Amino acid sequence: MSNIQYATNENVHTLINQGYTLVAYYAPWCGPCKQLGLALEALPDTLTQHLTIVKVNIDECGDALKNASVDVIPTLHFMLNGNVIEKNIGAVIKPKLMQRIAKEIHC
């Protein structure tokens, strides 16, 4: 089970600057975002122990979007020390998400 952290305007920059981070931009009313949320929650500890997962609610964290270049939700940013190294737009199913995380963290 993954350890998901929820960003606020106050803590988002601290959360995304911690080594490998998977940032999920979402809205609670978005159907594909809900699917992605379920996939994130179901990730095994073997993957999530190597990265921080941060969910950013676009309705509540406007400041977080200023530099994020997010036009569509859901959007995932794979980040290393605050720099985007890969971007995914749209919902991703769990097996594909697991593959992408493993690729990024070299598991």
Give me the active site residues, please: 30, 33
| Inter-residue contact 38 to 85 (CB < 8 Å) | no
- Distance (Å, whole) CA 85 – CA 48: 17
- Distance (Å, whole) CA 84 – CA 94: 21
How far, CA to CA in Å, does 58 sit from each of 1, 32, 71?
Answer: 24, 14, 10
